[in-house]
Amino acid sequence: MSQTSDSCLDKWMGREALAEAMIPVIGRLYRENNVVTSIHGRSLINKSTMNILKAHRFARRMSNHELLLEETAPLLNALSELELGAAAIDIARLTEKFRAEGNGASLDEYLRAELAEIVGKRGADDRTSTDVVLYGFGRIGRLLARILIEKAGGGHGLRLRAIVVRKGAENDLVKRASLLRRDSVHGSFEGTIRVDEEANTITANGVQVQVIYSDNPATVDYTAYGIKDALVVDNTGRWRDAEGLSQHLQSKGAARVLLTAPGKGDLKNIVHGINHRDIADDDKIVTAASCTTNAITPVLKAINDKFGIIHGHVETVHSFTNDQNLIDNFHKGDRRGRSAALNMVITETGAAKAVAKALPELQGKLTGNAIRVPTPDVSMAILNLNLEKGTTRDEVNDFLREMSLHSDLRKQIDYIDSPDVVSTDFVGSRRAGIVDGLATISNDKNLVLYVWYDNEFGYSCQVVRVMEEMAGVNPPSFPARDVVAPIAVLEAAGA
């Protein structure tokens, strides 16, 4: 029997009321306990009632199960009573696990057992704080700042302390703050920003950031600002080898360097989720590879582990970037001097070869090219692969969907099979890449995959994950394991 319009509205208002009641609970868990709550990796911190409702609806597409506020609201309330220590808790996965494995236990009993490691520790956080300096404040630098400010919590973990830029004008500080406050692609900053021109600081949501003017990375004295043992994140791309980047280590107060671009020479190119465990304590300089390498490597690893890759070609349809000209003018690179806003521009990409730095088993197996297109953000990688084992479109899609939900790559791989999605739908995605299941083409051992990626924000999230790994500031994550390891994932792991 179909519902009446009145009953539909009543049901909606009831769900709306539950979502509204969840907001202060989410806030208290965050402020008082250092607990970050999420739904399938989508953070609930500082989200509106509507965003919480949409996150619950999103979970249905992710797991084929309706995520009911009637279940998550009591779970959140129960969490708030447990005096938890610092943690990241996915309430969707925790709800599913309780539903499947509760075995008659009360919600409180189950949560006390599942979260025993942090119950009763009330905000205790064993992580040490790491000072962060952003060297450069362009597209990636400002997005990193937004993410770091969002994750500031009680001050543990990564602490954004300073940005270093070359002074561009007398009102430089105000302009920098304005660019942080407003973004044509990613929207307004969520919070408040204050500028102190006398102290040369920008304070965003209580996080005070020192603005330092310099054009020489070797001469900055960070200790003069109370900054020590800092992780310096070079967003300029000006230096890409060990010699150039080591200039940062000559500065007082700098301890390690992360480059937000592919590195040259023997520098470790890290794609989080793939080879982040290769970062050693004595690695002073590490690179976070490129946005494209981050988008395609997790998907390629999943496919290679499951089906084997003989050879592949990566074609990137990439949004234009700052290194191109708005109108035709001289450029040292081929074709990049032509107007980015008016043309599709064929150019080179090193992403295919760079994959092998993070995934050596694909050495020599990939070629690549790129087409820059007149959009400001969100790109697509088309993976044309020859496989060792034949497969079908449904098998591949089911496998990648499971990987996006239940594998160690779930922070990197997303999956969607909506018939009407376009590039702007993925602005703000926190995953490295999103597989478009409806576009998948499979003909036995020939496979074509379409992978969307926010080449700005999604990449920035990957950079922050590498930063957290370098600093050793990841909080414990719950639930530690899924309900049941999916067959596809077990097979991929060789079980």
Residue 252 and residue 173: Cα distance in Å, rounded?
A: 24
Q: 457 near 403, Cβ under 8 Å?
A: no
Q: Is the peptide bond before 479 cis (omega within 30 degrees of 0)?
A: yes
Residue 251 and residue 46: Cα distance in Å, rounded?
A: 36
Residue 120 and residue 138: Cα distance in Å, rounded?
A: 43
Provide the 8-state DSSP code for 278: G
Helix (H) or strand (E) holding 257: strand 254-259
Could you give phi then psi for residue 9, rounded to 5 degrees?
Answer: -65, -40
Q: 96 near 483, Cβ under 8 Å?
A: yes
Q: One of 44, 291, 295, 451 is an active-site residue; which one?
A: 291
CA dihedral (274, 431, 142, 23) positive or negative? negative
Q: 63 near 107, Cβ under 8 Å?
A: no
Coil, helix or strand at residue 299:
helix
Annotated active-site residue 291? The verdict is yes
Long-range contacts at 198-205 (CB < 8 A, ≥ 24 apart): 200/173, 202/163, 202/173, 202/176, 202/177, 204/145, 204/149, 204/180, 205/149, 205/152
Q: What residues act catalytically? A: 291
